[in-house]
Structure 1
Amino acid sequence: MTNTNKKTILVTGGSGYIAMFIMIALLKKGYRVRATLRTMSRQEEVKKMMAQGGISDFTDLDFVQTDLTKEEGWSQAMTGVDSVIHVASPTPLQRPDADDLMVKMAIDGVKFVMKAAKQAGVKRVVLTSASGAVLAGHKHHPEIFTEKDWTNLDAPINAYQRSKTMAEMEFWKLAEAYGIEGASVLPTAVMGPILGNDFSHSSAAIKNMFEGKMPRLLNLAFDYVDVRDVADLHLLALEKNEAIGQRFIATSGQNITYKKQAEF
């Protein structure tokens, strides 16, 4: 069903893999999309990737420059925006040199987005978190994790899991303080079509396997989810009142080992 209201949705981290598919889904459903970029020179590259995903009309897409490390630009980005999907956050593929900087960037990004959203009167913000904010650091963990579980920050977890956990905690704190309707989506390992040079760090592991850069198959297994399903879940979190105040783990429910992946 096409949305005829032409609401404007701000999507942060517009060149990112998940954000790309969210923007494609939004445009196909009739929303206007404003995407944030750290480097405005990437606009045509982003459009080219979106064209690979089925978008031919970019009338309802515009870009604005922001940075997770700077507060400048976020107020401008929020002008005329109805809702926000905050995807931007450092990933294992695009991370700063220092672990503590990775955590700080993720938290600061949430602070800047939520403050600007509050000032602009934005009603709802959907956060892209990660399953790493649920399942890490548990010495004795449940057989099945749920959205009620949180990563144990007292354990020696990696910087990515720490950044996603602390950023989501900050998000919920600010959503309550600012009176903003919040929802979060927590994808497991994300896979799906590759539209260009930007893809998930989960896909990068498969790429390394194909290119012989993985000297041995690690004895590891992950739950996976299709990036298009992740995008659809973000739209549901954006549109449904039942989503307010909720966390949603995005997974296909399949736990696949590297060995099994190599057999595909």
Structure 2
Amino acid sequence: MEGKYPPIQGLGSGSSSSLCVPGTVLEDPVHCLMPAAFPSAQWDQKLPQDGPWKFFCQAMTLVLLLLVLILGVVLAEVLQFSNQMEEDLKQMHIKFVQGLADAGHQRDIMWGEVFRQTEAMRAGNESSCEPCHENWTAFQGSCYQFSTERKSWFQARDYCTEKNAHLVIINSQAEQKFLSPKGNNHYWIGLRKQYPQGIYKWQDGSVPTFINWRDTTSSEYDCAYLMNLGSWFSSSCYTYWYYWICEKPQVC
């Protein structure tokens, strides 16, 4: 039996006996010769790993990493710019508020001087004073004008300023009685709550020495006005529009 199946050329005897077994499918010479015709090195050969696709993948990876790095830098710059803008806006707001406070202080000083001059003229001889202008009424050395239209407190203040006057400052019961409006009209006066102290001051910066609040709840808002019978009340300086009374020194 061994002479029937001679050893396959190129393989050892051990290989031939293990590959060509009588009585099996491997007895076919084609099957027995296949390992010799196609060496095992050819079956184990792998596809090459190097080539254009590997280079392309590496290049795309580098490009993506570079884009991520650039995006991170851009986002960091945008965040820094946003923070700087926010800080600049805060500083501008602080300067704006401070500027308004300084302007208000200077205005109060100016009206304080006007008030002192008015008091000095009241103490003098009123008979030598010039008559007030048309639509203005004289009383104790001052000229008063009662408006015929309504505005907010700040608009009324600005109107009086344009007339070289100020919202009325009430210093006595006699002046209060003179100013007491007729009917149910409301008139702004030059009294406003000042912050951060939260106390009422006249437009010239002085603290009232004469007050005539209707009751303890009448002064809970920021700007004061006269009601009928001369009682004082307060309301929002912007929301409500009332009549107003301007006052300026009478020329003596």
TM-score (norm 1): 0.21
Pick the structure with more helix per residue: 2
TM-score (norm 2): 0.21
Task: Give the structure with higher Rg (CA).
Answer: 2
